[in-house]
């Protein structure tokens, strides 16, 4: 059977991306990906020629699948030294496909991780007789960390070194978290508390290597007993046990 929609979206990937975004924003029970991936994040060690992820089709429908890697900017012009193979394939119901991520020669930083994203877009097969039925191409986007092999530790082991401070700006508490490690660190949760007060940081942004982030925390005041209680996501997508660190007060 011809993949008429597949051919159209292959010729116009920007349209495909927009279609996925629009569909994901619609309040419908059908706006979820049919395909599944074996990983929730990918770690590519620099001394490995390739890393793999399995794409599965547990549905009853045949899909064409397009895979590509890009940067956080989510564009198609930034240079990316990683290449998925196969980049285009057909996936029958109940089948799976091994997707390899191959490294190309590069000049990426050797003292820290570099962040990329693996995009896997599912394109449903056009069914004869559907007339003007709308088929939507949905996209799954995974974080892909290129990790120099000489780095010691992992995000989970280095999370204990995060540094926390709190300052008031126009009556609002701003939590500053500094990441002194070469790894990207993603919180599974982040809370502030002392014997008199507590607050939860909602959806804290990921920490890039050797950098910091500021989070607005409502309903909290600086105190000498204030602590951060937090967990992070490990290399396998699991949650680490909660850690505690003191929160310094700054001006």
Identify the CATH homologous superfamily for domain 4-147. Immunoglobulins (2.60.40.10)
C-alpha to C-alpha distance for 7 and 62, rounded to whole angstroms: 15
Residue 136 or residue 76, greater confidence: 76
pLDDT of 137? 84
pLDDT exceeding 90 applies to what percent of the chain?
Answer: 80
CB-based burial of residue 115 (10 Å sphere; 0-12 exposed, 13-18 middle, 19+ buried)?
middle
What is the rounded distance in angstroms from the CA atom of residue 97 to the CA atom of residue 35? 11
Smallest Cα–Cα separation from 55: which of 66, 44, 46? 66
Question: At what angle are helices 13-24 and 4-11 packed, to 10 degrees?
Answer: 110
pLDDT tens digit sequence for 72-88: 999 999 999 999 999 99
pLDDT digits (tens, 9 = 90+) for 39-72: 999 999 999 999 999 999 999 999 999 999 999 9
pLDDT at position 156: 97
- The confidence band for 131, taking pLDDT boundaries of 50, 70 and 90, is low
Average pLDDT over every residue of 222-233: 97
pLDDT above 80 for 164? yes
- Alpha-carbon distance of 129 to 51, in angstroms, equals 41
Select the more confidently predicted residue: 97 or 124.
97
pLDDT band at 4 (very low <50, low <70, confident <90, very high): very low
At 78 the pLDDT is 95
Topology (CATH) of 155-249? Immunoglobulin-like (2.60.40)
Q: Are 190 and 203 in contact (CB under 8 A)?
A: no
By mean pLDDT, which of 5-14, 72-81, 161-170, 198-207 is the weakest?
Answer: 5-14
DSSP 150-181: T--S-HHHHGGG-EEEEEEETTEEEEEEEE-S
Taking residues 10-35, report their average pLDDT. 47
Q: How many CA within 13 A on the CB side of residue 111?
A: 3
β-sheet bridge partners, residue 120 = 67, 140
Residue 221: closest CA among 187, 195, 189, 188: 195
Task: Considering the chain, tell me which residue range(s) the CATH 2.60.40.10 domain(s) occupy.
Answer: 4-147, 155-249
Using the predicted structure, report yes or no on whether residue 33 has a pLDDT greater than 90: no
The structure tokens 């629009």 sit at 22
Confidence of residue 251 (pLDDT cuts 50, 70, 90): confident
- Average pLDDT taken over every residue of the chain: 88
The 138-147 sheet, strands edge to edge: 41-45, 138-147, 114-124, 63-70, 88-91
End-to-end CA distance of the chain: 66
């Amino acid at each position: 059977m011809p993949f008429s929609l597949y051919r159209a979206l292959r010729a116009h990937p920007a349209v495909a991306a927009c279609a996925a975004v629009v569909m994901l924003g619609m309040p419908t029970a059908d706006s979820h990906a049919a395909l599944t991936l074996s990983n929730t994040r990918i770690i590519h060690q620099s001394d490995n020629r390739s890393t793999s992820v399995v794409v599965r089709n547990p549905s009853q429908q045949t899909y064409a699948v397009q895979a590509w890697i890009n940067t956080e900017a989510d564009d198609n012009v930034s240079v990316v030294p990683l290449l998925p193979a196969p980049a285009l394939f057909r996936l029958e119901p109940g089948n799976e496909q091994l997707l390899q991520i191959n490294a190309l020669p590069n000049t990426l930083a050797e003292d820290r991780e570099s962040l990329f994203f693996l995009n896997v877009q599912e394109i449903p097969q056009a069914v004869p007789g559907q007339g003007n039925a709308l088929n939507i191409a949905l996209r799954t986007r995974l974080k892909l960390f290129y990790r120099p092999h000489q780095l010691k530790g992992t995000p989970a082991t280095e999370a204990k070194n995060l540094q926390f401070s709190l300052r008031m700006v126009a009556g609002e508490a701003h939590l500053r978290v500094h990441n002194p490690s070469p790894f990207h660190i993603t919180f599974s949760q982040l809370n502030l508390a002392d014997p008199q007060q507590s607050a939860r940081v909602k959806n804290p942004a990921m920490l890039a290597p050797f950098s910091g982030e500021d989070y607005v925390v409502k309903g909290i005041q600086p105190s000498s007993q204030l602590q951060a209680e937090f967990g992070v996501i490990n290399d396998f997508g699991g949650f680490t046990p909660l850690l505690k660190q003191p929160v310094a007060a700054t001006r």
